[in-house]
């Protein structure tokens, strides 16, 4: 059995989502090849070749792949799919965008967002915002799978796989990259952070996120997240949203501030190792999943927390 894993990268760096999806690929058994499709993406391919358990890295270096547009990328993956028994990608927005397109072109029913490999053709995946876990057996001869990265550990380094250059596929030329607004930050990414502090609508404004949440994130080296309500209200950017339709995270420590805990939010964070809830409503559902709850006004608690963390040496 041979698996093709689609790497998540920004041409210069390999993203942590690749390391995690590699663990799922390894769990299928057999050998794993990693496809790095990008533009001037040699550095990302080099990083992929250093991952333990990778047999070979395929590098498709072409301007058509610079922004991971689904149409040319799917055409490339389909052109390479022949010898592979399974094609995997992390369930990032890139993976979710391109892999179903690949699956349909191969006439395969994709298995989305797997959280566990039961056997090479049987997987667990959450449905209904994680309120039920379905075990499904894929009967298509080829498997096309996206991986919920929060459910798998990151593969370690220590490999030295050869890098093979592959030819680009014909670009369907029906889509064009026009621009992007990507936040550049020194903070860890939400999906790979060890600590996350998230705010809800009770924060009241974007300024309050900066004033109350950010200093604590700075102290802890944490990523910042938000509930859907806070994002909809314009207090936080959309890519901070944690939940069923936003990002699914599983950090060591998740601090939910002023978040009531709608099932759609819980779906995105309830696999965190330790959950702290700070909320003025002691009946808030978030307390039902929190390891440590603190009832009170966030505007007094957060400055205190900042002080206590300083005392504790952070």
273-302 mask for other proteins (x: CB under 8 A)?
xxxx-----x----xxxxxxxxx-----x-
User: Does residue number 268 form part of the binding site for other proteins (CB under 8 A)?
Assistant: no
229 labeled binding residue: no
**Which of 83, 91, 128 lies closest to 111 in space, CA to CA?**
91
User: Does residue number 183 form part of the binding site for other proteins (CB under 8 A)?
Assistant: yes
**Which of 155, 37, 162, 154 lies closest to 87 in space, CA to CA?**
37
Query: Total residues contacting other proteins (rule CB under 8 A)?
Result: 93
Phi, psi angles (nearest 5°) of residue 220: -95, -5
Among 16, 66, 85, 140, binds other proteins (CB under 8 A): 140
User: Does residue number 85 form part of the binding site for other proteins (CB under 8 A)?
Assistant: no
Cβ atoms of 276 and 291 closer than 8 Å: yes
Among 191, 198, 227, 260, binds other proteins (CB under 8 A): 191
Among 40, 238, 281, 297, binds other proteins (CB under 8 A): 238
DSSP assignment string, 54-102:
EEEEEEEE-GGGTT--HHHHHHHHHHH-TT-SEEEEESSHHHHHHHHHH
What is the SS3 assignment for 13-32? Answer: CECHHHHHHHHHHHHCCCEE
DSSP helix/strand/coil, 218: helix
110 labeled binding residue: no
Q: Which is nearer to other proteins, 161 or 247 (CB)?
A: 247
Among 83, 180, 186, 283, binds other proteins (CB under 8 A): 180
Among 127, 157, 164, 165, binds other proteins (CB under 8 A): 127
Among 110, 198, 227, 260, binds other proteins (CB under 8 A): 110
- Min. distance of Cβ 42 from other proteins in angstroms? 22
Helix H or strand E segment including 293: strand 292-295
- Min. distance of Cβ 120 from other proteins in angstroms? 14
Cβ atoms of 224 and 240 closer than 8 Å: yes
Cβ atoms of 98 and 37 closer than 8 Å: no
Among 27, 81, 136, 206, binds other proteins (CB under 8 A): 136
User: Does residue number 222 form part of the binding site for other proteins (CB under 8 A)?
Assistant: no
Token pair of 153 as six digits: 């550990």
User: Does residue number 210 form part of the binding site for other proteins (CB under 8 A)?
Assistant: no
248-267 mask for other proteins (x: CB under 8 A)?
----xx---------x----
Among 70, 81, 166, 206, binds other proteins (CB under 8 A): 70
224 strand-pairing partners: 197
List binding-site positions.
Answer: 201, 227-228, 241-245, 258-265, 279
């Amino acid at each position: 059995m041979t698996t093709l894993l689609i790497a998540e990268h920004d041409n210069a760096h390999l993203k942590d989502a690749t390391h995690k999806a590699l663990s799922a690929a390894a769990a299928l058994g057999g050998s794993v090849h990693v496809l790095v499709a990008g533009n001037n993406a040699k550095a990302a391919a080099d990083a992929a070749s250093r991952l333990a358990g990778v047999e070979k890295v395929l590098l498709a270096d072409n301007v058509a792949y610079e922004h991971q547009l689904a149409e040319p990328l799917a055409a490339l993956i389909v052109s390479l799919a022949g010898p592979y028994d399974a094609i995997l990608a992390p369930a990032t927005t890139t993976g979710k965008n391109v892999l179903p397109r690949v699956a349909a072109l191969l006439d395969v029913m994709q298995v989305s967002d797997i959280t566990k490999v039961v056997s090479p053709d049987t997987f667990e995946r959450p449905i209904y915002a994680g309120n039920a876990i379905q075990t499904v057996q894929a009967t298509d001869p080829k498997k096309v799978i996206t991986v919920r990265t929060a459910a798998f550990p990151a593969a370690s380094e220590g490999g030295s796989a050869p890098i093979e250059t592959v030819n680009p596929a014909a670009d369907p030329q029906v889509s064009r990259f026009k621009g992007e607004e990507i936040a550049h930050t020194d903070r860890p990414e939400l999906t790979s952070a060890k600590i996350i502090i998230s705010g809800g609508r009770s924060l009241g404004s974007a300024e309050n996120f900066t004033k109350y949440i950010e200093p604590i994130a700075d102290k802890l080296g944490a990523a910042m997240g938000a509930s859907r309500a806070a994002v909809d209200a314009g207090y936080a950017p959309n890519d901070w949203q944690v939940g069923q339709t936003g990002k699914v995270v599983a950090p060591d420590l998740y601090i939910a501030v002023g978040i009531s805990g709608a099932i759609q939010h819980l779906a995105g964070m309830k696999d965190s190792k330790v959950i702290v809830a700070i909320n003025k409503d002691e009946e808030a559902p978030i307390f039902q999943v929190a390891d440590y709850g603190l009832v009170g006004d966030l505007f007094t608690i957060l400055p205190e927390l900042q002080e206590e963390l300083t005392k504790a040496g952070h």
